[in-house]
Structure 1
Amino acid sequence: MTPKQFAAARAPGWAELEQLVARGEGGGDEKVPYDGARLASLYRRCCEDLALAQARAYPVQMVQQLESLTQRAHRLVYRRQGVEFAQLRRLALIEFPQAVRAHARYVAMATALFAVPLVLAAWASWRDPGFVLHLLEAARLQEFDAMYGPGEHGIGHRRDADTDWAMFGFYILNNIGVGFQCFAAGLFAGVGSAFYLLFNGLFAGALGGWVVGRGHGTNFFSFVVTHSAFEITAIVLAGAAGLRIGHAWVAPGQRTRLDALKAHSREAVVVIYGVVWMLLVAAAIEAFWSSARWVEPEVKYGVGAACWALVLLYLARQGRPLQGGWDAR
């Protein structure tokens, strides 16, 4: 579809949204009823049009027009006080999964940067236990051996943590730190995000292969299978957002680098909001469920499979507009 065809097909919706926004801002005919639900519906569709226009490198004037329109509509949709819960609900059910799909090619790149070294390192460490020593010291390996071994401590618990709540705090700090590294390092032309994705994939794969080689496969996999659906996905998404920031710096297009960074950051920050939420969920599961020895491994495998399916389905399908063009349903 050419830019002219795209604009011709979407122009009626943009024009109607412009009228509703002007009315809401006090510049339109006050006698005409103000339809907030219609405004929200058109706003969501315009956000998708903006993402398409950016992905297809349509003329910068069109992109800037849609950016301005969506920003004005956004202020109207969220200007009411006391709607924090509604905003969070909208972020979780619509904006976050839509933003992830808008970053699809960056998500694919981040997934490859994390998954390929993970698989290769796991295979290398399983075949040659000495390989893991390139990444971890022997003292750290002894700690992990105790964490996933058949000892009296809960699976995955550090020796200096007495309670699940202590581990919950530790996991929050650790998870948020890793996610922040993968995202913020994107400012270095995306190279930093790529490095942290590669490093975390290597670390996780090498450690996993070594633990399995030690005969602790059941404890290890039953521990990681559930919370990894949220944790690994969040780390990959944080890296994807960082790669997009880096791409804006390297290839700003017709904008200045600063303008490109601002525009891409506004869109990437929605992904980061969702990433933080997923990392908090992962920390809670890891502390209170994954480490529970009273739960049979088979049960954890089943719950873990369900969590992976739900996360992937949520990101792939949640927040898609109903069919029927610009009609509010």
Structure 2
Amino acid sequence: MDVDAFVLANRPTWDRLEYLVKRKRHLTGAEVDELVDLYQRVSTHLSIVRSSSSDAVLVGKLSGLVARARAVVTGAHAPLWREFARFWTVSFPVVVFRSWRWWVASGAAFYLVAAVVAVWVARNPEVQAAIGTPSEIAQIVNHDFADYYSEHPASSFALQVWVNNAWVAAQCITMAILLGIPIPYILFQNAANLGVNAGLMFDAGRGDIFLGLITPHGLIELTAVFVAAGVGMRLGWSVIAPGDRPRSQVLAEQGRAVVSVAIGLVAVLLVAGAIEGFVTPSSLPTAARVTIGVLALAAFIGYVVYFGRRAVAAGETGDIENAPDVLPTG
């Protein structure tokens, strides 16, 4: 098919449909009938382009136009509460659930690197000497590490932690546009930093303080980062190996999935920030603080497994309903 000739012949129809869609609130009866007719014709055009051309830009443009016209024709405007409920019971958990191999692998690699670095630092005085002088290290392990959690008011500290964690997760999400290639390096940097602190604290005999302070918030906080990293790398891999579907369609679907995860993790990291701001520095016994952290992680995993598995069984992918590039065109 000559795409240029096809576009030239049908552009007036598309432009007219675009015009009617924009005037949806002010259409006359005749214009409504015309809009329905044009919607059916442009849907057919979209079907033809998909089957005869690999022009992703043209397919995307017609898909968007057909989707908007369909919304006008059917009047399918879901209530806001329904969209909100769908997001938390379908869109977010199913994407996290479907990506579990990626983020579990990311977490396992992260903790392995952190453990190796911690052992390396703890067992090598020369490495510690490169990190700082004995007095500087003593200041870190005896004061700075613990004081970090209590030097600011809990509310402002919780906000600061949330912003910092959201930034790390956002980096992983953003790197998805580069096929996820930089994500392992971002994880390595954070794992190495955690390992250095763990090595210094354990070598000084303060490993119990380290675990007591890092575990309550760290479990769910790091899991959120792993999810962001896993979903980002999964998107990159889907572009490299899209399977039997068009690469543009897979990229659009996975891109919307990444956005869903980014939004959902804002709430997850808010919980982590609240725990770090109010629970970690509290006077609660260490066992109680750790238990709160474990319960928060268990609640998140249980939520993802329950709603994610149910959504998978229903054939959901986490994509938006009536997504433009999967919209029926007949």
Tell me the CA shift for residue 290 of structure 1.
0.7
Counterpart position of 1:314:
303
Kept in 1: contact 2:90–2:311 (CA 8 A): no
Give the residue type in structure 2 aligned to 1:156: Y
Deviation per CA, 1:114-172: give whole Å up to 9, x if none.
222122122222323554676x66669845642335xxx4x623xxx431122122202
Per the alignment, do residues 117 and 263 of structure 1 end up closer, same or farther by CA in structure 2, a change over 3 Å counting? same
- 2:88 matches 1:95: no
Task: Say yes or no: does 1:146 pair with 2:135.
Answer: no
Aligned residues of 2:96 and 2:261 also touching (Cα < 8 A): yes
- Tell me which residue corresponds to 1:298: 287
Q: Please name the residue that 1:113 is paired with.
A: 109
- The match for 1:170 among 138, 157, 160 is 160
**Percent of paired sites with the same residue:** 23
Q: Trace 1:211-222 onto structure 2 (pairs within 5 A).
A: 211-222=201-212
Distance 2:309 2:137 in 1: 45
- Matching of residues 31-110 of structure 1 within 5 Å: 79-83=77-81, 86-110=82-106
Distance 1:93 1:245, change over 3 A: same
Higher relative contact order (CA 8 A, sep 6+): 2
1:156/1:177 CA distance change after superposition, 3 Å: same
**Alignment: residue pair count:** 246
Distance 1:218 1:254, change over 3 A: same
What is the CA–CA distance in structure 2 between the aligned matches of 1:322 and 1:87, rounded to whole Å? 15
Between 1:98-107 and 1:245-254, the stretch displaced more is 245-254
Question: What is the match of residue 246 of structure 1?
Answer: 236
Change in 2 beyond 3 A, CA 1:126/1:94: farther
User: How far off its partner does 1:224 sit?
Assistant: 1.8
| More helix per residue | 2
User: Which residue identity lines up with residue 298 of structure 1 in the other structure?
Assistant: A
Q: Which residue of 2 aligns with 1:22?
A: none
Contact conserved, 2:96 with 2:227, CA < 8 A, in 1? yes
CA displacement, residues 229-262 of structure 1 (integer Å, 9 cap, x when unaligned): 2201100001011102221333345666554432
1:280 and 1:163 map into 2 onto residues whose CA distance is 16
Whole-angstrom CA distance in 1 between matches of 2:313 and 2:240: 38
> In 2, Cα distance between the equivalents of 1:143 and 1:190?
34
Distance 1:320 1:121, change over 3 A: same
Q: Is the 8 A contact 1:183 1:240 kept in 2?
A: no
* 3-state SS of 1:318 partner: helix
Q: Secondary structure at the match of 1:191?
A: coil
Cα distance in 2 between the residues matched to 1:324 and 1:182: 28
Distance 1:120 1:288, change over 3 A: same
Q: More displaced, 260-269 or 136-145? A: 136-145
Q: Which residue of 2 aligns with 1:268?
A: 258
Q: Whole-Å Cα distance in 2 between the matches of residues 80 and 225 of structure 1?
A: 41
Partner Cα separation in structure 2 for residue 224 and residue 97 of structure 1: 26
Note the residue ranges of structure 1 that are not aligned, 5 or more in a row: 1-66
Distance 1:183 1:77, change over 3 A: farther
Counterpart amino acid of 2:121? S
Unaligned runs of 5+ in 2: 1-62, 316-330
Instruction: Return the match for 2:149 from 134, 153, 156.
Output: 156
Q: Using a 3 Å threshold, how does the CA distance of structure 1 residues 169 and 266 change in structure 2: closer, same or farther?
A: same
Q: 1:132 to 1:207 in 2, by over 3 A?
A: farther
**How big is the alpha-carbon RMSD for the aligned residues of Structure 1 and Structure 2?**
3.5
> Is 1:289 aligned to 2:282, yes or no?
no
- In the TM superposition, what is the alpha-carbon distance from 1:280 to its structure 2 partner? 1.1
Match of 2:10 in 1: none
Higher Cα radius of gyration: 2
Task: Please tell me whether the aligned partners of residues 220 and 293 of structure 2 are also in contact (alpha carbons under 8 angstroms).
Answer: no
2:203 & 2:266 partners in 1: Cα distance? 33
Cα contact 1:78–1:87 (8 A) shared by 2:
no
The 3 A distance-change label for structure 1 pair 317 and 183 is: same
CA distance in 2, matches of 1:324, 1:203: 40
Out of 157, 180, 189, the residue aligned to residue 190 of structure 1 is: 180
